[in-house]
A = this chain, B = another copy of it.
Amino acid sequence: MREAFREELTALTERLVEMTRFVGTAMDKATQALLQADLPLAESVISADDAVNRLQHEFDQRAIGLIARQQPVATDLRTLVTGLRMAADLERMGDLAVHLAKVARLKYPSRVVPEELRDTIGAMSRVAQDLAAKAGQVIQERDVELAIQMERDDDEMDRLHRTLFQLMLAKDWSHGIETAVDVTLCGRYYERFADHAVSVARRVVYLVTGEYDATAAGAV
């Protein structure tokens, strides 16, 4: 019985790691769709979102089923409840990639991101993908050091986000209100994606150390 429980926990962990890979790929494709006004790519991100929703739903069913059947207490129960929260974070990261793809689709055939912002948006996407990949590693290896490093990556995301605003608020901004509105929303989606990845990492740290930084968590 205990061995079956361990095996199921391992399978559930693997499922979360799979979700991190899925949303990292979605983020990559959504950004390409945005930067290149690539409609088929945008559509593919939007239609793939069902898969991550399904992964979350299955995760939830299995985790709740495991709680009901095995009635775990203490650390095991906390692991499963935390897993439910991480699955919700990851599902939300998928939604945020979809939001980016939908902006690309809505504005097609126009390009949403003006030339002088492309580098910043590209960098935000790379940080976001990197955070998704690291979140997967933190889940798999319970790597607290890497989780702490992710906080610094998130600071880099915040810095890039501020750069985006500075570029839009510069006197020589010539792309009008509509582009500023679109870029503001996209910037927010990247930032929130990163926040959720960091939130996943913090939850792992909490599981491992029993310490959860509620102040930091309040910010995500």
Give me the interface of A with B, judged by CB distance under 8 Å: 49-50, 53, 57, 64, 67-68, 71, 73-74, 77-78, 81, 84-85, 88, 95, 165, 168-169, 173, 177-178, 180-181, 184-185, 188, 214, 217-218
Q: Give the chain B neighbours of A81 by CB distance below 8 A.
A: 64, 67, 81, 84
C-alpha gap A185/B177 in the complex (Å): 14
C-alpha gap A177/B50 in the complex (Å): 36
* B74 pairs with A68, CB closer than 8 A: yes
* Chief secondary structure at chain A's binding surface: helix
Q: Which of B95, B173, B181 contacts A169 (CB 8 A)?
A: B181
C-alpha gap A28/B85 in the complex (Å): 29
Q: Give the chain B neighbours of A85 by CB distance below 8 A.
A: 84, 88
Q: How many copies make up the complex?
A: 2
* Minimum C-beta distance from A184 to chain B (A): 4
* A68 pairs with B64, CB closer than 8 A: no
* B73 pairs with A68, CB closer than 8 A: yes
C-alpha gap A88/B73 in the complex (Å): 22
| Most chain B C-beta atoms within 10 Å of own C-beta, residue among A57, A73, A181 | A181
C-alpha gap A212/B95 in the complex (Å): 18
Q: Give the chain B neighbours of A74 by CB distance below 8 A.
A: 68
Beyond contacts A49-B218, A181-B184, A184-B184: 11 other A-B pairs, Cβ-Cβ < 8 A, are A53-B217, A64-B81, A67-B77, A71-B71, A84-B85, A95-B218, A169-B178, A169-B181, A173-B177, A185-B188, A188-B188
